A and B are shown apart, each in its own frame.
Chain A
Amino acid sequence: MADERDPQISQRYRALGGEEPPPELDRAILAAARRATTRRNRWYPSLAAAAVLVFAVAIVVQVERQPPDQAPMSEPSPPAVAAPAQDKVAPQERKAPAAAPAKPAAGRRAEQAPQFAPEPAPAPPPAPSANVAAPAAGVGAEGERKRADETRAAPQLQRSMGAQRSAASAALRDEVPPDEWLTRIARLRELGRDEEADKELARFRERYPDYRIPEVMAKKVEKQAPAAPAR
């Protein structure tokens, strides 16, 4: 409040002297201020790492909790062909979300591919590769359970399609695009499961008698003289 000032008093007060804090005090305070900011900055990387970790965990949990697609149920390969042996191959072959509505979800989880392919990845698929890559992606535990159920129901499904569930699976199977089916057959071939691949190929030709298999894919799905996996 400037109106409270008295020039005479101010002048006399100023005349009392111009004391200053000693330089060593200045240095000590400024050093403490800098130390404080250094300590603070040291936390930044840790905080950033923790935040990234929390986000990563949250995303993983979210993905895990997502209801599985109907896709895992829709596979062209008949579980009845070799039901006991299929468990090993199941993750690769049965991720077959061929039904059109399931594709976006499968593509979204494409980053889970490593669990799908512990072995060396096959050669890039032929022309319709976009359709092939997406369904080949993730599969959840629930999907596994559903597949196991299907495996048990397979004989009836093959013979009569009597059971309602089997009928539903069969309907989905019919919707599997040929290129996906061929990719799976090629996969069986890669794994050296020629017998199954042969059967599947026969079924494929029965189902799609007019389908012209591209040359590149034909090499993969048809039995070659010395079984050399395409890698």
Chain B
Amino acid sequence: MEAPDEELMLAYKTGNAGAFDTLYARHRTRLYRFVLRAVKARAVAEELFQEIWMRVIEARGRYTPQARFTTWLYTIAHNHLVDHWRKRGLTLVALDGEELPASDDPDPADAAQAREALARFAAALDALPALQREAFLLHEESGLSVAEIAAATGSNEEAAKSRLRYAMAKLKAALNDG
């Protein structure tokens, strides 16, 4: 049975570097995608991603498992994103240079259609207000519940639930457009 995240973080807190390796391996991909889709620029995402983990390392001494480690991690991530958005005047960054992955569909026509559908979805996701997109990503990518989203973003559950519902509705509309 794998050790829970909270146990690993406590082990790292007491100097077990191997515990951090495991923890990082578990969360690196999801956190990276969360940040990448939140800021939409790879270079910025990488910088933020590194800063978030550095913050985790620095804050290890104060870590107490009062909530899930995931919630704590994404709270740190949220705070970094907020700082990032503040620096950019709370404006959304366009989806410049974001390449969509090629489909495995062998039929060129179907492949083109799939790519278009995916592009529409990506555009819809991109067009979401930052807080709604964040709520969606926390839910979809990171597996946080509404309560955990509220905790990570410093809002209440009603607000988190509302943002998530708006985001889902807009994405659903983008899917149906095709």
Contact = CB atoms under 8 A, between A and B. Distances in A.
B49 A21 contact: yes
A22 B46 contact: yes
Contacts of B164: 4
Interface in B96-113: 100-101, 103
| Most chain A Cβ neighbours within 10 Å, of B53, B58, B164 | B53
Contacts of A1: 139, 145-147
Q: Using C-beta atoms within 8 Å of the partner chain, give the interface range for chain A.
A: 20 to 34
A12 B145 contact: no
B145 A32 contact: no
B85 to A, nearest CB: 21
B54 A29 contact: yes
A9 B172 contact: yes
A89 B50 CA distance: 73
A13 B12 contact: no
A41 interface: yes
Contact of A16 (B29, B121, B165): B121
Interface stretch (B14-22, B66-74, B76-84, B86-94): B14-22
A23 B100 CA distance: 21
B26 interface: no
Given A25-B50, A41-B15, A17 B172 contact: no
B60 A21 contact: no
A141 interface: no
A18 B32 CA distance: 10
A5 B146 CA distance: 11
A4 B60 CA distance: 32
A37 B54 CA distance: 13
Contacts of A22: 46
A47 interface: no
Interface of B: 12, 15-17, 20-21, 24, 28-29, 32-33, 36-37, 46, 49-50, 53-54, 57-58, 60, 100-101, 103, 114, 117-118, 121-122, 125, 139-141, 145-147, 161, 164-165, 168, 171-172, 175
Interface of A: 1, 4-6, 8-10, 12-13, 15-22, 25-26, 28-30, 32-34, 36-37, 40-41
